[in-house]
Amino acid sequence: IVWWISARIGPDRAGRFGALLLGTIGPHLAKSAHLRANLAIAMPNLGEHDLDDLTKRAWRETGRVMGEFPNFGTICVDEAADRLEIIEQYDMEPLRRGERQAILVSGHFANWELAAGCSRKVGFPLDVLYSPQANEDVDTMIRHHRQALGVGLIPRQQAARAILRSLAARRNFGVLLDQRYDDGEPVPFFGHDTPSGIAPAMLAIRQGVDYVPVRIERKKDAHFRVTFLDAIKPDPALDSPREQAIEMTRTAYALFETWITEKPESWLCLKRRWPRHVYRLRGIDI
């Protein structure tokens, strides 16, 4: 019902509607404990009242994303010239011409879906990794709305071979890095080591493609700025590709820290991000 309404009132009003809805309901959901706990680790100087306020604002931002989902066609195609500001610190022209490829990395910031959706406007082919929903009906609806993003979708459980096929076809690959990877390598994130995925950096090294961080920011309502930052290069002074990949991932995470600190409500993290002992240090039991 929410998406049915949102599709009929346009992206700006739909975002405000979603913000009102989840800003009211979200803080009372079970997942809010994880969101609040993650924000407490990222923003350790906040008092309880300020942390409660930040958690509510983060739910409002999540509601905006929910309202914008059925309006991706408007944002990414019909009104892309007005709604998507693109900044190319990284030279995208070789990607447009198919002369170079990149693995693009970002996190769950602002409306992260549109970090991929801007590829149509920028003009380069992109496939992205996604996690299918357990509910098939919900998954079908989400994939339907994502069609407007103009990207290929690679299910996480089929990732390894599909990503190699994508790169072999001279396409580019995007992934969100800010989730916890239980089998990942420890990388510092807000002062605490946390299991993190170094596979995208390893793949970039092995395939000889660039590793490019992408930042998306909400300017106002459903208007966004997407910045393609300079590629993070492997350090030739390090002994092995694994060490290089860990360092590249660490650099990406340092960028994420900066972005989250600047606008913490724009970060969506509804699952436990750090090992449990990190939360216990803050007196948090989740």
Task: State residue 228's pLDDT score.
Answer: 99
Task: State residue 245's pLDDT score.
Answer: 98
Q: What are phi and psi of 212, to 5 degrees?
A: -115, 115
> Alpha helices, DSSP H only, in the chain?
2-9, 11-25, 32-42, 48-68, 72-73, 80-83, 93-96, 113-117, 119-122, 136-146, 159-168, 199-207, 241-262, 276-281
Structure tokens belonging to residue 16: 């405000």
Task: State residue 76's pLDDT score.
Answer: 96
Q: How far apart are CA 79 and CA 223, in angstroms?
A: 10
DSSP H or E stretch at residue 126: strand 126-130
pTM, full prediction: 0.95
| 130-185 residue pLDDT tens | 888 888 888 898 999 999 999 999 988 878 888 899 999 999 999 999 988 888 89
Domain 2-281: top CATH class: alpha beta
Q: Is the pLDDT of residue 15 over 80?
A: yes
- Tell me the domain boundaries of the chain: 2-281
Q: How far apart are CA 78 and CA 80, in angstroms?
A: 6
Q: How many other C-beta atoms lie within 10 A of the C-beta of residue 239?
A: 7
- The set of residues, in sequence order, having a beta carbon less than 8 Å from that of 28 and lying 6+ positions away, is none
> Quick one: pLDDT band at residue 2, thresholds 50, 70, 90?
confident
> Quick one: pLDDT band at residue 286, thresholds 50, 70, 90?
confident
Q: Is the pLDDT of residue 20 over 80?
A: yes
Task: State residue 132's pLDDT score.
Answer: 84
Q: How far apart are CA 218 and CA 84, in angstroms?
A: 10
Task: State residue 133's pLDDT score.
Answer: 86
What does pLDDT average to over the chain?
A: 95
Question: What integer is the mean pLDDT of 102-116?
Answer: 97
Question: What integer is the mean pLDDT of 218-229?
Answer: 98
